Amino acid sequence: MSADAVPAHLEKLRGRVAELVARRAADDPTAADPLRGLYVTPEAAHRLATAPSPVPGAPPQDDGHGPGDPLADLAERFGLSPLDLRILLAALAPDVDRRFEPLYGYLNDDVGRRRATVALALDLAGTGPHDASARARFHPRAPLRAGGLVVVEDEERPLPGRALRVPERVVSQLLGDDAVDPELTSHQVELVPAGAAEPAHPLAVRIAALATAAPLLVHLRERREGTAAGPVVDALSAAGLPVLCHRPAPRAGDDATAAVTALVREARLRRAALVVGPLPSEPGALVRSLATGDVPVVFFGSEAYDPGWAPDAGLLALEAPHDGVDPARAWHTELARHFPAYAPDFDLGEAVAPYRLSEPQIRRAARDAAGLAAFDGTAPTAAHLQLSARLQSAPLLDKHARRIRPEVGFDDLVLPGEPLGLLHELTLRARHRDKVLGEWRLRTGGGRGRGVIALFAGDSGTGKTLSAEVVAGELGLDLYVVDLSAVVDKYIGETEKNLERIFVEADRTDAVLLFDEADAVFGKRSEVKSSHDRYANLESAYLLQRLEAFDGIAVLTTNLRANIDDAFTRRLDLVVDFPFPDVEQRLMLWRTCLAGTPCAPDLEDEIALCAKEFELAGGAIRSAAVTAAYLAAGHGGPLSGADVRAGALREYRKMGRLAPGTSLPWQ
């Protein structure tokens, strides 16, 4: 594109301006006006119009626009007629050559109006406001205005007297500056240049192939935000199309129309595709505005497509597949960009398997992991990867649940072999669910998700919540404990709404969801004897359906397994029973809890005796150990057997039980 073409066209325009000035000056009655300093005299206007051009090279001899001419390129992209081009050139002139300002002030009979008016632009084009077809070029839906190339100002004036302005982005484009419109920076628009990425998603590659052949309008429904939109951006870029990614505001503001006009203009100027989403709550106006017919647009979001958004747009509605790229391969590729010849000393696939990230999220997480590793002076470790991956998950669950950062592992558990083995199996299922349920197609139909759901059943204090924290820590995820007091509502239907918010956010977040005392909401359905029973059963039916569609990892805990509805049990992947600890396990629990405390020489014998005499669960033993530690800290010595026994007696009294060796008051 030639940068000298526009000044050359303007020099030709200046010749037409000179002719118009000469005609006006021939019968100018103000030539001898003593106040002519307030306006441009005919002589000054004639001199400005006929002065030699400072632009090197001869001006064009006609209005033709040859190859490499930015005006010709603009006419092709926006569907402009020859008259449109002459109007655009007249409006553009003061923004490129300041000598046009006083000339336009003279021709407008108003030295303060230094832009072309509608009447002046049409005069210079060889027609006038009397021509209906010429006036139609200024209609809001005409190419110049609809494309955002010309802005008609002074709406309160009659059409002939309204001023014309060319946006600075259009001026810059015509002069050879290809920078993104600054107006779009405040509207979350990102440019991905052509050839910036390699495609890997079959659906995305197909969309890109269709978009390069002809303008395409697609709505892509995602199960998880960004899982399909990112690959589409990569595929469009790899196919040779620049991509403008736009994230609309949740609610349209006053400047939404101007932003859409600027976005479409930028896409046409660059011959780019648009990827827009997630869509706002009422996207109809946005979809209709972007359905121009000459710009490829891909909308995405979690909501299903509504034909009422744009009934005549010919929009193609697609369901994004659940399967994406191989996470381990994508992570390794991105990490190798920062650490050439990267060879991890851990199982990369196992470390990143619990995270359901899109390619753009993996790209950002790998960059962050590389930064953390560089800060520590090492190659990226599993901890670096898992921390950066957790930061990519939406933190919105904090509004509905209490987050726990796991600080325990399997070494902190004291359990028999069977429940311990089931906990290991739970982590195995969480890591390999995409392979088993997706690649191997062992997921049944009916809209079932890929969630992993387990029930932990056992008496209070037997380690159910601690085990959920261990599972989350082993997977490198956060644990979110659902506060049932904030979920259950006395008003009909409100409990389901609260649970739906939690499930939706859990589907978007890589975390382990814990429903403590789950029998409060997952209890058995009852025989319908009143309206209350009917609505309680509706709540249970909703939960049954929602669990089947759940894609995350959830753990339900209960002290009363018999209270859980059998229909819920059938939908569970694992049921782990936590037995009450026997003497040997209680001894191990005492040792584990007191491992970090200074101990007196006789402590081991007293611990063994307490483990035999006091039938305490793991949670109670931990509380007794804490009490004993406080007693030791109070007297300033090491932890003694007397401190341990005092802590155990304290727990027995809290539970209302008689301590060994004591009798009832009346005995």
Q: Where are the domains of the chain?
A: 5-174, 182-319, 327-389, 410-578, 583-654
The reported pLDDT for the residue numbered 58 is 37
pLDDT digits (tens, 9 = 90+) for 375-423: 999 999 999 999 999 888 766 677 778 899 999 999 999 999 999 999 9
Cβ atoms 446, 453 nearer than 8 A: no
Range of weakest confidence among 44-58, 161-175, 404-418, 489-503? 44-58
Cβ atoms 87, 166 nearer than 8 A: no
The 10 Å Cβ neighbour count of residue 347 is 12
Report the C-alpha gap between 151 and 147 in whole angstroms: 10
Q: Which residue has the higher pLDDT, 587 or 254?
A: 587
Report the C-alpha gap between 254 and 321 in whole angstroms: 36
What dotted CATH number matches 583-654? 1.10.8.60
pLDDT digits (tens, 9 = 90+) for 102-161: 888 888 888 788 899 999 999 999 999 999 999 999 999 999 999 999 999 998 999 999
Q: What is the identity of the amino acid at 498?
A: N
User: Is the pLDDT confidence value at 564 over 90?
Assistant: no
Q: Which of 23-32, 296-305, 354-363, 575-584 has the highest mean pLDDT?
A: 575-584
Quote the pTM value: 0.72
What dotted CATH number matches 182-319? 3.40.50
The reported pLDDT for the residue numbered 583 is 95
The overall average pLDDT reported for the chain is 84
Smallest Cα–Cα separation from 551: which of 421, 434, 442, 645? 434
Q: How many CA atoms lie within 13 A of 66 on its CB side?
A: 7
Helix (H) or strand (E) holding 287: helix 284-290
The CATH homologous superfamily to which domain 410-578 belongs is: P-loop containing nucleotide triphosphate hydrolases (3.40.50.300)
Strand pairing category for 164-165 and 316-319? unpaired
Tokens coding 459 = 């008496």
The reported pLDDT for the residue numbered 536 is 58
Which class would CATH give 327-389? mainly alpha
pLDDT digits (tens, 9 = 90+) for 63-112: 555 556 888 899 999 999 999 999 999 999 999 988 898 888 888 888 78
User: Is the pLDDT confidence value at 466 over 90?
Assistant: yes
The reported pLDDT for the residue numbered 524 is 60
The reported pLDDT for the residue numbered 293 is 85
* Long-range contacts formed by 640-647: CB under 8 A, 24+ apart: 640/600, 640/602, 640/603, 640/606, 641/600, 641/602, 641/603, 641/605, 641/606, 641/607, 641/609, 642/606, 644/590, 644/594, 644/603, 644/606, 644/607, 644/610, 645/606, 645/610, 647/623
| Helical spans, DSSP H, in 179-283 | 202-213, 229-238, 256-270
Does 583-654 match 327-389 at the fold level?
Answer: yes
Q: For 179, phi and psi rounded to 5 degrees?
A: -70, 150
pLDDT digits (tens, 9 = 90+) for 446-460: 667 788 999 999 999
pLDDT digits (tens, 9 = 90+) for 595-639: 989 999 889 999 999 999 999 999 999 999 999 999 999 999 899
In the numeric block, the tokens 């002030």 are attached to: 105
